[in-house]
Amino acid sequence: MTPTELKQSALKDARPPAGLSAAAQALWHLKKGDWERSHAIAQDIEDAQGSWVHALLHLVEGDLGNARYWFSLAGRPAAKPAQAEALWDEIAAEVLADR
């Protein structure tokens, strides 16, 4: 699955595709507009990818201090809110490649 396919699924389907990693599920729910569900999933991912998704969530939320904390845990440079869409694509490409 590609990031574009994941995004399209979130825009048209009621549930995420089967077999997605937790990080990909969190991204799917974020794109679906369910920040709370996405955040609940991301909180349970205890690796760098989970921290990166978590950073994106707080970036989207507008909590930049919290986002910077999670970017740091992920070992990634902090992003700005205007970069959120491109960052979603970047994270999706990585988490989908790791399936």
| pLDDT tens digits along 31-71 | 999 999 999 999 999 999 999 999 999 999 999 999 999 99
Q: Is the separation of the CB atoms in 58 and 70 below 8 Å? A: yes
Calculate the alpha carbon distances from 21 to 9, 34, 96, 99 in Å. 15, 17, 8, 7
3-state secondary structure (DSSP) of residue 76: coil
pTM of the model: 0.95
Letter for the amino acid at 21?
S
The pLDDT of residue 84 is 96
Q: So where are the chain's domains?
A: 3-7+21-97
Tokens of 78: 């902090």
